[in-house]
Chains A and B, each alone.
Chain A
Amino acid sequence: MKNVLATKRGIIAVGAVIGVLASLLQFWGNPANMGICVACFLRDTTGALGLHRAAVVQYIRPEIIGFILGSFVAAYLFKEFRPRSGSAPITRFVLGAFAMIGSLLFLGCPWRALLRLAGGDWNALFGLFGLAAGIWIGTQFLKKGYNLGATKPTYAAAGWIFPIIAAGLLVLMLLNPQISGEPQSGVLFYSAEGPGSMHAPLLISLVIGLGIGFLAQKSRFCTMGAVRDLILFKQTHLFSGLAALTVAAFIANLALKQFHPGFEGQPVAHTMYIWNFGGMVLAGLAFTLAGGCPGRQLFLSGEGDGDAAIFVIGMIVGAAFAHNFGLASSGAGATPVGIKALFIGLAVCLSIGFTMRESIKA
């Protein structure tokens, strides 16, 4: 019954392992300060499927497949697989889409924000402050009774659908393998240059993804929950995992000579601090209203949570819009239309927070 990974020491160990592995993934070929980025990697996967055509960010990221399948295996092994769905799916879809749009304004999810900091990219501080601000806004809604309603148990087969989709992506990769220097192989797109072209070998990425998925499912690792529980309950449990990830990645980066402090010229980053902050306010609010950071949503989808899977599909659609409409930032900075999307996203998420609450008992 005792779950060692869900103890304080357990969550610290898991955070540290993720931090070191993320740094190693960069060493083995993933983009700088992007050993793991759930938002970026879902975006790259979206591009590989041709759902957006930004040529520099197209690659099915095996880490994402591993996260879902690793969690699926852990859930089955420890009898925690609970097929469930039905808690406001359309709302979660919209939250996922705007979480992605906010993340791509900043250029990273909370995991990458921590990894950017651990690599010396001080712009990440504005993103992290924004994340905390967005989560704080979310906690105000939670205190006022915000609630998307309960899930219902469903068929085991329904819980299998998302893990099978993840396995299907791996099959697609194996049937349409990357051809060096070519932008396309069969039905899949592969970046010939840019961040999408930088990746660790498929097998390494997949195995590390599976390992992290397994550990994170058991430890309930969540970067948004870390900050939320600190604000809402003054609990440091999840936060200690987040801190361990950052410190471990920093030490590993020093050892691998991947630490380059500064604001200017940071990899896949821009220096427009207002929009680094603003993008993550939107993402943090959307994650809080949906009950988990993007990594956690992947792990939940692996253990049978169909609503978390809908959130992830929302992120994929959000990534497609972000690149097709030019909302995503680049090294040059945020785009005017991306800034408009930020305010639309904030208006939508605030409306969700204000309107979807249980009637409060007097």
Chain B
Amino acid sequence: MSNTVDARGLSCPQPVMKTFDQIKAQSTGEIVVLVDTDTARENVSRAAESKGWAVAAVEPEDNGYRITIRKDG
């Protein structure tokens, strides 16, 4: 079971901040981030990778994307 961060509709830099908050909260495992723009998709992916998380999947969903990031313990 992975935690979900809903960052749809939020201005920069909120999607990245919310992703970092969740990364801080669980340090390893899987997180799903929902975004609704391509800018947010790129920013969240870049930010996750900068913290050593891998972008496992990016799937289109509704009007945006469902990003799955993962870090093994």
- The smallest beta-carbon distance between A284 and chain B, in angstroms, is 15
Q: What is the CA–CA distance of A149 and B63 in the complex, to the nearest angstrom?
A: 18
Taking a contact as CB atoms closer than 8 A, the residue among A3, A82, A225, A235 that contacts B47 in the complex is A235
Tell yes or no: B56 within 8 A of A by CB: no
Asked if residues B39 and A87 are in contact (CB atoms below 8 Å), the reply is no
30 residue pairs of the A-B complex, CB under 8 angstroms, read: A1-B58, A3-B38, A78-B38, A82-B37, A87-B9, A87-B11, A142-B13, A142-B14, A147-B14, A150-B8, A150-B9, A151-B9, A151-B10, A153-B63, A220-B39, A220-B42, A220-B43, A225-B12, A228-B13, A229-B13, A232-B17, A233-B13, A233-B16, A233-B20, A290-B11, A291-B11, A291-B12, A291-B13, A292-B11, A292-B12
- Docked complex: B22-73 residues within 8 A CB-CB of A: 36-39, 42-43, 46-47, 50, 58, 63
The secondary-structure label for the interface of chain A is: loop
Chain B residue at minimum C-beta to C-beta distance from A78: B38
Known: A150-B8, A151-B10, A220-B42. 7 other contacts (CB 8 A): A3-B38, A78-B38, A80-B38, A148-B11, A235-B46, A237-B46, A291-B11
Q: What is the CA–CA distance of A326 and B26 in the complex, to the nearest angstrom?
A: 54
Residues of A within 8 A of B20 (CB): 233
Q: What is the CA–CA distance of A291 and B12 in the complex, to the nearest angstrom?
A: 5
Chain B residue at minimum C-beta to C-beta distance from A222: B12
Q: What is the CA–CA distance of A323 and B73 in the complex, to the nearest angstrom?
A: 60
Residues of A within 8 A of B12 (CB): 222, 225, 291-292
Chain A residue at minimum C-beta to C-beta distance from B7: A150
Q: What is the CA–CA distance of A232 and B36 in the complex, to the nearest angstrom?
A: 22
Q: Write the A66-103 contact mask toward B (1 if CB under 8 angstroms, else 0).
A: 00000000000010101010010000000000000000
Residues of A within 8 A of B36 (CB): 82, 84, 151, 153
- Docked complex: A222-266 residues within 8 A CB-CB of B: 222, 225, 228-229, 232-233, 235, 237
Q: Interface size (A, Cβ < 8 Å)? A: 29
Asked if residues A142 and B37 are in contact (CB atoms below 8 Å), the reply is no
Asked if residues B47 and A233 are in contact (CB atoms below 8 Å), the reply is yes
* Interfacial residues, chain A to chain B (CB-CB below 8 A): 1, 3, 6, 78, 80, 82, 84, 87, 142, 147-153, 220, 222, 225, 228-229, 232-233, 235, 237, 290-292, 307
Asked if residues B9 and A84 are in contact (CB atoms below 8 Å), the reply is yes
Interface centre among B36, B39, B42 (most CB of A within 10 A): B39
Residues of A within 8 A of B63 (CB): 82, 153
Residues of B within 8 A of A292 (CB): 11-12
Asked if residues A147 and B10 are in contact (CB atoms below 8 Å), the reply is yes
Q: What is the CA–CA distance of A220 and B39 in the complex, to the nearest angstrom?
A: 7
Which bracket fits the contact residues of B?
20 to 34
Taking a contact as CB atoms closer than 8 A, the residue among B10, B13, B46 that contacts A150 in the complex is B10
Q: What is the CA–CA distance of A88 and B12 in the complex, to the nearest angstrom?
A: 15
Chain A residue at minimum C-beta to C-beta distance from B6: A150
Chain A residue at minimum C-beta to C-beta distance from B17: A142
Chain A residue at minimum C-beta to C-beta distance from B10: A150
Q: What is the CA–CA distance of A229 and B11 in the complex, to the nearest angstrom?
A: 14
Residues of B within 8 A of A290 (CB): 11
- The smallest beta-carbon distance between A7 and chain B, in angstroms, is 9
Q: What is the CA–CA distance of A265 and B36 in the complex, to the nearest angstrom?
A: 48
Residues of B within 8 A of A1 (CB): 58
Asked if residues A152 and B9 are in contact (CB atoms below 8 Å), the reply is yes
Residues of B within 8 A of A149 (CB): 9
Residues of A within 8 A of B58 (CB): 1
Chain B residue at minimum C-beta to C-beta distance from A304: B37
Residues of B within 8 A of A78 (CB): 38
Q: What is the CA–CA distance of A78 and B11 in the complex, to the nearest angstrom?
A: 21
- The smallest beta-carbon distance between B44 and chain A, in angstroms, is 12
Q: What is the CA–CA distance of A228 and B20 in the complex, to the nearest angstrom?
A: 15
Closest 9 CB pairs of A and B: A150-B9, A291-B11, A151-B9, A80-B38, A291-B12, A6-B42, A220-B39, A153-B63, A150-B10
- The smallest beta-carbon distance between A22 and chain B, in angstroms, is 23
Residues of B within 8 A of A153 (CB): 36, 63
